[in-house]
A = this chain, B = another copy of it.
Amino acid sequence: MSDTLDLLADPIDLTAALVDVRSVSGEEAEIADLVERSLQLHAPHLEITRSGNAVLARTNLGRERRVVLAGHLDTVPINQNFPSRREGEILHGCGTVDMKGGDAVMLAIAALSQNASHDLTFIFYDCEEIEAERNGLTRIQKDLVEWLQGDLAIVCEPSNGTVEAGCQGTMRIDLRTTGKRAHTARAWMGKNAIHGMGEALRRLEQYEARIVDIDGCTYREGLQAVKITGGVAGNVVPDECVLSVNHRFAPDRSPEQAEEHLRTVFDGYDVTVTDFAAGALPGLNAPAAQELIRAAGGTPVAKLGWTDVARFAALGMPAVNFGPGDPTLAHTQEENVPVQQITGCFDVLKRFLLA
């Protein structure tokens, strides 16, 4: 591996070079050093700083608006899909989709940003694929929040090269039924907590998820059991059953409203919220967002999964996902990206930011 990356090379080659540097969550030092050195060499016009294994760079051109581009450098664990492998117009390998294609486009834009039409901030960060408190953005928000602020955030997560706006919220709850233990040979002396969960599963089966339209984006909600456990022994009427449910909700609802909804759906059950993250409204009416949409062409669509756009939305900025790759291939062994999506995203961002 060379000492620096050639940021002026084709972003497809840059993607392959980034994929070929292992960077499983928690082990991003090597790739962060490489990104930092490469920016210092090829983009000396940028102000550059470090935060742990995150690299932050920005222009200071005095433009009216600032656009923040964010991409995580880490990947899920490698799964017999390292290093990268090019087959015709397809680039295979861990991180090709999630999200070194997006990182490569960001680096290529950074190298060309001497006279950008907006001021630009680039955030290359660590530990996105693991628990939220270790996510580099959490640390940056605490230590260097001014680096995150701007008029539009573009998180370059895979979106098949279309603008995916906002994101849905997520909430996890546990339902708990309690009963009374008894020997199964004398079952009428007990009360079966697993049987008591039947009604909750029936409500899940019958649940009709909302489909919500916001700013022309369609959000499709979901309510899914994700885990169930119960049982004491093969001859004991069980006295506890716990059902974990994941709700994905459109960004017109706050977490409080989502919780209220779930308590109505599961009325009569003991409900505990174990985890939640607010969604993000698409915010597509903001001027910078309109410019991006024009540059991208096509129609923006709703982001259904939760992504770090919600962190930027929480800072009061419109935030979108825009990057190469099919998000349904993320975290799979067969992860791969059609290379023309990398070129396509690069061209859109050039039109939007460098014209």
Contact = CB atoms under 8 A, between A and B. Distances in A.
B246 A225 contact: no
A43 interface: no
30 contacts: A170-B184, A170-B185, A172-B234, A184-B226, A185-B248, A185-B305, A186-B328, A189-B328, A192-B204, A194-B201, A194-B226, A194-B227, A194-B243, A195-B201, A195-B204, A195-B205, A198-B202, A198-B204, A198-B205, A225-B230, A225-B231, A225-B238, A226-B231, A226-B235, A226-B237, A228-B229, A228-B241, A229-B229, A229-B231, A235-B246
Contacts of A231: 225-229, 244
Contact of A306 (B185, B238, B244): B185
Contacts of A89: none
Contact of A227 (B220, B238, B306): B238
Contacts of A184: 170, 222, 224, 226, 246, 248
Interface residues of A, number: 48
A314 interface: no
Interface string A232-255: 111111100101101010000000
Contacts of A201: 194-195, 197-198, 201
A41 interface: no
A275 interface: yes
Contacts of A229: 228-229, 231
Contacts of A230: 225, 227-228
A226 B233 CA distance: 7
B194 A228 contact: yes
B228 A228 contact: yes
Contacts of A226: 184, 194, 231-238
Contacts of A223: 187
Nearest to A200: B198
A224 B192 contact: yes
Contacts of A233: 226
B234 A187 contact: no
Nearest to A307: B185
A183 interface: yes
Contacts of A113: none
Nearest to A168: B185
A152 interface: no
A304 interface: yes
Given A186-B304, A226-B233, 6 more contacts: A188-B220, A195-B201, A201-B201, A226-B235, A226-B238, A228-B230
